[in-house]
Structure 1
Amino acid sequence: MDLSLNRLSKHFGPKIAVDGITASLSPGIYGLLGANGAGKTTLMRMLCGILEPSSGEVLFNGQSIMDMGPRYRNVIGYLPQDFGYYPDYTAHEFLMYIAALKGIPRIAAGKRAKVLLNMVDLSGVAKKKVKTFSGGMLQRLGIAQALLNNPKILVLDEPTAGLDPKERVRFRNLIANFASDKIVLLSTHIVSDIEAIADKVFLMKKGNFLLQGTIPELVQEAEGKVWELTVSPQEAREWEDTVTVANLRHSNEQVILRIISEKQPSPYAMSCAATLEDLYLYYFPTEEGIK
């Protein structure tokens, strides 16, 4: 099974949202990292067949997904960043409704809905109306609807938004088990989620892939650019204004800074091993919300 992106581009008037991306995806989990406005959602919507490319194409097993039409929709599951739902439906009714839209027979849909509600820990509230759900519960329901047709390709846009740490671990385990023979593309700002489960990572900036590879391959790009420096609290504030500080922690009356810098920022700074988060901050030094 293969999903190929062949010089894929999307323009909105003069704005280029996705710019000539080429990549090949086989079964496994792919992490998509990039700042807001990098083109991640536009790319995902083209992969799902929702948006038509301005140029280039997406091929599934060598066939254009636009030519495949309903046959492609039968093999894909999609969780958008803000998925629509009917607030007066119960969780079970909502899944049955989505199953009907996907053409899943009613008896099979009922069995599948029950399994998925249990899988995402919503079986106890299956008969409660969706409008009573918390943000995390809604997100889990969104994950369940994306899995209804047991898709071969699963596209998830910010799937762990609103989930607490325990729910995120449950989600990661669910996806890791699901993806043994599937293609999963996961977009998130939570770097630790990608570090935990991704086989390969795409780093996206201004509509293109800056880097693509395994986590060790990408982290290598940040080696020699991560430093640790111990300073006074007053000096720490000055350093934060002049360099990218990935982390700081207080130790006694001093502050230990983790600094991302091409060159040694101070003769007293010690080089340290890089992480995927360091790499992200190296390319997106002003991006907030990293976890």
Structure 2
Amino acid sequence: MTSTPPVAAGARIRFTVVGTVRTCYQQGEVTLADGTSLSYDPAQHRAAVLAEGWRPGDVIETQHGRLRRTERGGYHHWVHERSGQMFHDDQVDPVRARVVSWWGGRRTPTDPAPAETEPGRMIGDYLARHYDGQPLAELRDEHAAHHLEAAAKLLPLIPETEPDPRPSRFHATPAEVDAYLRTLLAEDVYLRYQQAIGYAALAEATEDAATVRAQADNEGLYTAAWREGWDDAIQRVDPDQNGPTPAGLVDLSHDDEQEREPDVDGAGRTRESYYTPKPTA
């Protein structure tokens, strides 16, 4: 059994790298989503584009919220739709980004030669090892071309598999989990699931409020009017004294956005202000 010789000066090699471009600030300098950095000369090296990149006007959901692709001074950036904050490409994970809308309509991936795709090269490598006893990368180009040509003819015969619709176990966002559960459950079943979570959250809040109220009452910090205020607040949120919460199915499709509109009433007061004790004279 012979081992593959190491890369050395004078060796003729072929690198195959498939990934999503994270940054491409100038032609020939590319960083992939997994951190791989590449420098290449477009005149000597060929990059097969498997799917077109972002264009100005595209809108995506990211870890920063909803961003829109814009062009300023000849450079492309991302801008937060609410705050207007600007983000560079190295601040946005292209793998986790979810497309909201394409500028000019949905774009389909460009079609490289079948043998230039990763599955094509994998089949070509298998054929090279089986018939020539060597990896595809170690064959002379004219010999490797025969295996790649055979791989291109085999690819259409292989049935395509649907991508796994399930969100990642380790990186799923609330919006992704919500979207997936809606494909599995009827609305009334999903609503009861959300209500079970709402009951647990309100029960915990009721218990905490009762504890704080009892401590304040024992220490004589509040008057009878304040005690009644606490009792009223606890009664309003106690899940055992009120109907199921939420009353309707909650839409979490935009829950990945970190910035939210303030919850205010008609007088401009936030909800928290109702329960903030006022200083006494």
TM range (shorter): under 0.3
Richer in strand (by share): 1
Higher Cα radius of gyration? 2
Compute the TM-score of the two structures, normalised by the length of structure 1: 0.25
**Bigger RCO (CA 8 Å, 6+ sep):** 1
